[in-house]
Amino acid sequence: MKTRAILRWGVRLCTLLGIAGSLAIMGANYFSSANEHRHFKIDGGSMRPTLAVGEVITVRTTESPQVGDVITFLRDGKTTTHRVMRQWESVTPSGKSHTLYITRGDANTHDDPWVVIDDQVIGTVMPTPFYTLAAVKLAEHPTVLALLFLPLLLSLFITELNTVWTLVKGTDDEECPERESNPQDVAIRGV
C-alpha cells in the first residue's frame, strides 16, 4: 500500500512539474512577442561596449526616438542598431513631414554616412525583460527545453505502468463470500 501512495504522489509531482514547465515556456513566449515590442539579436560589434555580439535586445516600436536613444532601423534590407546623434524635421515636396536621424555605433568614431528616415525606424531599444532572456536561452538549448517536459512524460509513463501492473496483478480487494451464493450478484455485507 505504501508503494502505491508513493507512486501516486510521484505521479502528481511529475505532472505538476511538467505543467509548470509548460506554463513557463508559454508565458515567456507570450510576453516576449507582445505587439509593441520586437526582439533582435546583435550580430555586429559596432555598439560595443553598450551591446555585445549575440546579445538579445528588445525594441519598443511605439516610442519616438530622441537624441541619445539607441534605435533599430532597416538599412538595405538589414537591421542596424545605432545611437541617435542628431535629429531634425523635414518636409517633402509633396508636403509630408518626416523626422530624419544621424546615427553612430558606440564603437565608431564617426557618424554613419547615411541619413535614417522615420519610416525606416523599427523602434527604440529598451532593457530586455528577464523572462525574454530566459526564453531565448531555452530556445538555444533544446536539451534544457526537453528536460522541462520530461516530468510530464514521466508521470504519464508511471500512470500507464501502474495501470498495467494493476491489470496483471489483479485487485487486492478482499472478495465477499456471499457473492458466490448470491444469484443477483449483490453483496449482503458492505462492499
Task: Give per-residue pLDDT as tens, 113-170.
Answer: 999 999 999 999 998 888 777 777 777 776 776 777 777 777 777 777 777 777 777 6
Lookup result for grid cell 509548470? 20
Q: Do the Cβ atoms of 85 and 103 come closer than 8 Å?
A: yes
pLDDT at 181: 60
CATH number for the domain that contains residue 109: 2.10.109.10
Q: What is the distance between the alpha carbons of residues 141 and 144, in angstroms, rounded to a whole number?
A: 6
pLDDT at 102: 97
Asked whether residue 2 is domain-assigned, the answer is no
Asked whether residue 57 is domain-assigned, the answer is yes
Give the mean pLDDT of 79-101: 95
pTM: 0.59
Asked whether residue 140 is domain-assigned, the answer is no
Which helix (H) or strand (E) element contains residue 5?
Answer: helix 2-32
pLDDT at 32: 52
Q: Which range marks the domain in which residue 45 is found?
A: 35-128
Asked whether residue 90 is domain-assigned, the answer is yes
152 or 79, greater pLDDT: 79
Phi-psi region of 135 (alpha: psi -120 to 50; beta: other; left: phi over 0): alpha
Asked whether residue 158 is domain-assigned, the answer is no
The total of structural domains in the chain comes to: 1
Asked whether residue 147 is domain-assigned, the answer is no
pLDDT tens for 94-125 read: 999 999 999 999 999 999 999 999 999 999 99
Asked whether residue 189 is domain-assigned, the answer is no
| pLDDT > 90? residue 74 | yes
pLDDT at 14: 67
Asked whether residue 47 is domain-assigned, the answer is yes
